Amino acid sequence: MRSKPSAESSNERASLPLTLSAIGALLFLHIPLWLIFLYSFTTDESAYTFPPPALTLKWIPQAIQNTAMQDTLFLTLRVAVLATVAALILGTLAAAAVYRFDFFGKEAISFMLILPLALPGIVTGIAMRSAISLLHIPFTFWTIVIGHATFCVVVVYNNVIARFRRSSNSMIEASMDLGANSFQTFWHVVLPNIGTALMAGAILAFSLSFDEVIVTTFTAGNQQTLPIWIFSQMLKPRNRPITNVTAMLVVLITALPIMFAQRIVAQTSDGEGGSK
Amino acid sequence: MSEPAILFKNVSRHFGEVKAVDNVQLEVKDGEFFSMLGPSGSGKTTCLRMIAGFDRPTAGQIFLYGQDVSNLPPYERPVNTVFQDYALFPHMTIEDNIAYGLMIKGMPKSERVKKANETLDLVRMPGYGKRKPSQLSGGQRQRVALARALINHPKVLLLDEPLGALDLKLRQQMQVELKNIQREVGITFIFVTHDQEEALTMSDRIAVFNEGNIEQVGTPADVYEHPSTPFVAGFVGTSNLIAGEVAQRITGSPKRFSVRPEKIRLAQMDDQIEGDMFVADGIVRDVIYLGLYTRYLVELEGGGDLVVIEQNLRTSSIDVTKIKNQKTRLLWKKEHVSYVGG
């Protein structure tokens, strides 16, 4: 049923050089990842020899039972969840304020909200560290959460405000006109409409927080998050296979939600971005 | 006499320096189809939004069947609105959209679904309940928006240019249907539009808005036949305004007057003039043949132009253009003249 000639242009085959360079780019990006996966199963204890002398599954239970790994993983998950929750609340409120109301300095606030994401992490890190020291707040688990929340808020804010801009302005008025008060309007109309934007924002925020290193280094006390623990393990060759297994775990924990988030965003045909 | 549906007492809505609505008095009767007509920025939509509760007057009071509602939030007012962009909830089915007001009131699911489907019948869209708004055409969404408002039995239904997004055929069809539905349900309708034809077609009475003020309120015939200001004469129909010396020569008074183009007859120079007629002589400067009728632009002796419209009952395009640049006599009944002041 090919009736329209215009539809066929999308079926046109890419030229050979274009195909090759696309494959090249993908390999460049992904070969290092595959190597990590491969080395997770090598029998080789301390060195990266290629090809691996033999394959084994023994590192996986060892890595999972490693208490240091467990502790840092659990801490990282708690940080990511709390930073995401804070980002959801603050990001949604900020987006609602910037979208709904006109006030002096609105553009500036919008810009300032996005700034932590655009700034190099090291700048955010130094700034957070000096601010926290200045206020004599001890560096704890909670300072890590605050540090992560700064860039997580942006992701949620970007997603939610893009959704607000696409939705009909009079929908909220229509709901109130039909007898719903502010809370009912939020629950029945606003929330379902920004639901997928919140979900996508939350997943991206979670992934960003989960593998954050730089800001964490500046805002942590003696706590170690998983990425930092992995980095410290790299310096100790005898644990190398365990580190590889952990890295593989991190890839799975962060990549799957991001794929899921992209699905959601594609399904609702949003053009909204917001990744780092 | 029953209480008026809507009563505006000295209502103003100023946005800083801008007087969107300025000291407006207005009375809408119970059960009326009332139109607010005016160009954009004339204050008609602001008035509607103040009745709905989306906007509050900066001065004055608004009464709904005798109750002062000036400061009630929208959800405490027994009025409902049909929005210009319909404002349907995209995440809900048509059924849930229509039953939204009932759900908020706490009506059980089965009962409100039944009512929603009854209302779908009323707007001639039976069986559409399970669809989503994105699956409907513009005209269908419009009907759903109407059903969603009507199901709550509002005391007054507000319609904010609801036909603006529809094409001409559909719009004309909806005009008739809206009027029928209004008769069927017997609710007071307040209809905002910038389309004078739409207002004339549907309304019991019309208020003509200009720059935050109401220029005239009356039946369609009143407003059309007897415009009380130059603005109304120009906005509703074709403006045919004559003033000063020329007016003096025709009517015996220098007061500015308006006469509708179709009331004027092109006559022969030697035609009999009856006592109840005004006469003016001039030269036909332009002839535009429009099939159903022909428009003539006549330049009067002593200055001023009048537009004349005559139906093409016996003439053809060749005949009508012959009189271009000829001298002609115009005749119209004295009763068709409105003195518009200004």
Domain boundary pick from A56, A75, A107: A56
> End-to-end CA distance of chain A, in Å?
42
Round to whole Å and give the CA distance between B238 and B263: 12
Q: Is residue A77 part of a domain?
A: yes
What residues have CB less than 8 Å from B215, skipping those under 6 apart?
B208, B209, B228, B229, B231, B232
Cβ contact A92:A160 at 8 Å:
yes
Sheet holding B257-259, edge to edge: B241-242, B257-259, B337-339
Confidence of residue A220 (pLDDT cuts 50, 70, 90): confident
Give the type of residue at B325. Answer: N
Task: For residues A103 and A30, state if they share a domain.
Answer: no
Same domain, A98 and A32: no
Q: Alpha-carbon distance B129 to B126, whole Å?
A: 8
Q: Give the gap in angstroms from C-alpha A268 to the nearest C-alpha of chain B.
A: 11
Q: Do A178 and B148 touch (CB under 8 A)?
A: yes
Partner A contacted by B132 (CB < 8 A): no
Average pLDDT of the segment spanning A211-233: 85
Q: Which of A179, A192, A193 lies nearest to residue B101, judging by beta carbons?
A: A179
Q: Verify whether the Cβ–Cβ distance B87 to A171 is below 8 Å.
A: yes
- Condensed to tens digits (0 to 9), the pLDDT of residues A152-211 reads 999 999 999 998 888 777 899 999 999 999 899 999 999 888 888 898 899 889 988 988
Rounded Cα gap, residues B277 and B321, in angstroms: 26
What separation in angstroms does the CA of B158 have from each of A88, B99, B139, B150? Answer: 37, 18, 18, 10
Is A171 found in the same domain as A87?
A: yes
Reduce the DSSP state of residue B217 to 3 states and report it: strand
pLDDT value, residue A8? 45
3-state class (DSSP) for residue B79: strand
For chain A, how many structural domains are there in total?
2
**Does residue B317 contact residue B289 with C-beta atoms inside 8 Å?**
yes
Say how far apart CA A125 and CA A214 lie, in whole Å.
7
Nearest CA in chain B to A179: B75
Give the one of A167, A170, A178 whose C-beta lies nearest to B104's C-beta.
A178
**Minimum distance, in Å, between the CA of residue A261 and any CA atom of chain B:** 19
Instruction: Give the dihedral sign, CA A38/A43/A48/A53.
Output: negative
Note whether B54 contacts A173, CB cutoff 8 Å: yes
Q: Are residues A229 and A96 in the same domain?
A: yes
Q: Which string of DSSP letters, residue by residue, matches B269-313?
A: TT----TTEEEEEEEEEEEEE-SSEEEEEEEETTS-EEEEEEE-S
CA distance linking residue A160 with residue A162, whole number of Å: 5
Is the pLDDT assigned to residue A5 strictly greater than 50? no
Partner residue opposite A179 with nearest CB, options B54, B83, B104: B104
At A267, the pLDDT band (50, 70, 90 cuts) reads: low
Q: Which residue has the higher pLDDT, B264 or A3?
A: B264
In this predicted complex, what is the ipTM? Answer: 0.82
Is residue A65's pLDDT more than 50? yes
* Tens place of pLDDT per residue across chain B (342 aa): 578 999 999 999 999 889 999 999 999 999 999 999 999 989 999 999 999 999 999 999 999 999 999 999 999 999 999 999 899 999 899 999 999 999 999 999 999 999 999 999 988 899 899 999 999 998 899 999 999 999 999 999 999 998 887 888 888 888 998 999 999 899 999 999 999 989 999 999 999 999 999 999 999 999 999 999 999 998 888 878 888 888 888 888 888 899 999 999 888 877 777 788 899 999 999 998 888 888 999 999 888 899 999 888 877 667 777 888 888 899 999 989 988 876
Burial B79-89 (b: 16+ CB within 10 A, else e): bbbbbbbbbbb
Residue A8 in any domain: the answer is no
A107 in contact with chain B, both atoms CB, cutoff 8 A = no
Structural element, H or E, at residue A138 = none
Q: Kindly tell me the burial class for residue A230, based on how many C-beta atoms sit within 10 Å of its own C-beta (0-12, 13-18, 19 or more).
A: buried
* Residues A80, A45 share a domain: no
Residue of A121, A125, A126, A206 lying closest to A159 (CA atoms)? A206
Q: Select from B84, B85, B89, B119 the residue whose CB has the most chain A CBs within 10 Å, as the one to mutate to test that interface.
A: B89
Nearest residue of A to residue B90, measured between CA atoms: A193
Q: Is residue A175 part of a domain?
A: yes
Where are the CATH 2.40.50.100 domain residues in chain B?
241-339
Residue B75 forms contact with A (CB below 8 Å): yes
Which residue range(s) make up the domain with A88?
Answer: 61-267
CB-CB under 8 Å, A193 with B75: no
What is the pLDDT, as a whole number, of residue B12?
94
Q: Which of B75, B83, B90 sits opposite A179 (nearest CB)?
A: B75
Instruction: Tell me the chain B residues in contact with residue A188 when contact means C-beta distances shorter than 8 Å.
Output: 100, 103-104
Q: What is the pLDDT of residues A76-120, one digit of tens each?
A: 999 999 999 999 999 999 998 888 777 788 888 888 888 877 888
Same domain, A211 and A234: yes
- Domain identity same for A40 and A127: no
Class of domain B6-227: alpha beta
The structural architecture, per CATH, of the domain B241-339 is: Beta Barrel (2.40)
Nearest CA in chain A to B84: A170
Q: Which residues of B touch A176 (CB under 8 A)?
A: 53-54, 73-75
Distance CA A141, CA A83 (A): 11
Cβ neighbours of A73 (radius 10 Å)? 20
* B15 touches A: beta carbon within 8 Å: no
A162 shares a domain with A115: yes
Q: Are residues A17 and A105 in the same domain?
A: no
Q: Does A196 touch chain B (CB under 8 A)?
A: no
**In a shared domain, residues A244 and A117:** yes
Cut 0.90: pTM above it: no
Same domain, A18 and A115: no
- Taking the Cβ of residue B138 and every Cβ of chain A, the question of whether any pair is shorter than 8 Å is answered with no
Indicate whether A20 belongs to any domain. Answer: yes
Do residues A81 and A21 both lie within one domain?
no
Judged against a pLDDT cut of 70, whether residue A67 lies above it is answered with: yes
Residues B235, B227: Cα–Cα separation, whole Å: 10
